[in-house]
Amino acid sequence: MIRKGNMGYEINRFRQEVNKEFICPICQGVLENPQQVSECEHAFCKACIDEWLKRQPTCPVDRKRISPKDLKPVPRILTNLLSNLEIACDNANYGCTTVVKLEKLPEHLRECYHSQTPVQCTKGCGITVPKYKSKDHNCVLDLRSIVEQQASSIAKMQSEINSLKASGITEMQTELTEMMVSGLSHMQTEITDHTSGIRFLKECMRSMVGSNPQTRLQFMLENEDFLRSLETARVTQWGSMISTPNDDMLEGIKSSLTENGCPLHLATELIEKATEKHWPSGLSSLDARQLNREQCEKYVAKRIPGKQAVLVLACDNNHVPENLIMDPGLVMIFSRGVE
């Protein structure tokens, strides 16, 4: 039960069923500091819609063109209904069992003794401890523990110094040791290269069971160096996907791909299909993406270096339905949440 930064409240923290009208369409959490669009009256968390509009000037629900000037606070009746929802404390994972009305949550958090917020001891020792431990903090015991740790480290270092002196290491022994270390490092590098090659061959074999095995295998062989250079990525906030990125975003992604070894023709093809109007049916609208959210979390994705974006390749994702993938792959851009 940990907060998602400045986004909405997690639904499972509430003690009653939450009306779907209270859910932010962007983060899928309960509305926090809600704002609504004047014309269509769709409501979002303030932080969510502010971040969204930095990327694209459209309503996330109906795609009508809007700007920050079109936002206003939600009606008082919705604010009152939200304020009366009962929510578990942010520190429930650390032992707090308090449940309060949403409007009282900030006040409770300032006083909650289960907080992980670091505080400095006011009794004189100056040690910083988590707030929930401050009441039971013992200056003498904690300082003694620190001194013992430092004494142990000093004793270990002194022992190592004495051992080196006693061994009488000669210059020849030093050179021999360096040669052995260098040889071992070279062997480890070769093992790493062989392991990487074996892993790539296994990926090629897996690609041969897909709907278009010959094409996907040829794609992997032609782009081996580029594919092996990409790191695996994890998307933690699918709701922050930018499905209609502007030209500057697309050009930035294309530059990152080509600078990291992606062939120009492949980068061009991927970028031309990086908007929802070119995506397969399972991703072509906000409703479709929300319906297939669990399947999307099964993607094997590669991080596009330096960007909040991922590359979902068909050759890596034979396990997902065909309406969620296309050859050679998909570029997906996010405002945040790519790790």
Instruction: Check residue 6 and give its pLDDT.
Output: 57
Instruction: Check residue 228 and give its pLDDT.
Output: 73
Question: With 50 as the cut, is the pLDDT of residue 205 above it?
Answer: no
Question: With 60 as the cut, is the pLDDT of residue 220 above it?
Answer: no
Model pLDDT for residues 103-114, shown as the tens digit of each residue: 988 889 888 877
Average pLDDT over residues 24-50: 91
Cis peptide before 321, with omega less than 30 degrees from 0?
no
The CA–CA distances, whole Å, from 243 to 55, 81, 134, 162, 286 equal 10, 32, 47, 64, 9
Burial environment of residue 317 by CB neighbours within 10 A (0 to 12, 13 to 18, 19 or more): buried
Instruction: Check residue 30 and give its pLDDT.
Output: 93
Tell me how far apart the alpha carbons of residues 201 and 203 are, in angstroms, rounded to a whole number. Answer: 5
Per-residue HEC secondary structure of the chain comes to CCCCCCCCECHHHECCCCCHHHECCCCCCECCCEEEECCCCCEEEHHHHHHHHHHCCECCCCCCECCHHHEEECCHHHHHHHHCCEEECCCHHHCCCCEEEHHHHHHHHHHCCCCCCEEECCCCCCCEEEHHHHCCCCHHHHHHHHHHHHHHHHHHHHHHHHHHHHHCCCHHHHHHHHHHHHHHHHHHHHHHHHHHHHHHHHHHHHHCCCCCHHHHHHHHHHCHHHHHHCCEECECCHHHEECCCCHHHHHHHHHHHHHCCCCHHHHHHHHHCCCHHHCCHHHCCHHHHHHCHHHHCCCCEEECCCCCEEEEEHHHCCCCCHHHCCCCEEEEEECCCEC
Tell me how far apart the alpha carbons of residues 20 and 31 are, in angstroms, rounded to a whole number. Answer: 10
Tell me how far apart the alpha carbons of residues 259 and 268 are, in angstroms, rounded to a whole number. Answer: 13
Instruction: Check residue 92 and give its pLDDT.
Output: 83
pTM of the model: 0.41
Model pLDDT for residues 274-296, shown as the tens digit of each residue: 999 999 999 989 888 889 988 88
Report residue 173: phi and psi, to 5°.
-65, -40
Taking Cα atoms as reference points, which of 55, 57, 86, 92 lies closest to residue 71?
57
Instruction: Check residue 4 and give its pLDDT.
Output: 43
Instruction: Check residue 246 and give its pLDDT.
Output: 92
Instruction: Check residue 1 and give its pLDDT.
Output: 37
Residue with tokens 């979002």: 44
Taking Cα atoms as reference points, which of 99, 41, 107 lies closest to residue 75?
41
Question: With 50 as the cut, is the pLDDT of residue 207 above it?
Answer: no
Taking Cα atoms as reference points, which of 36, 105, 116, 120 lies closest to residue 72?
36
Average pLDDT over residues 222-247: 82
Average pLDDT over residues 128-148: 65
The dihedral through the CA atoms of 194, 195, 198, 204 has a sign that is negative
Strand partners, 65: 58
**How long a stretch of residues is the chain?**
339
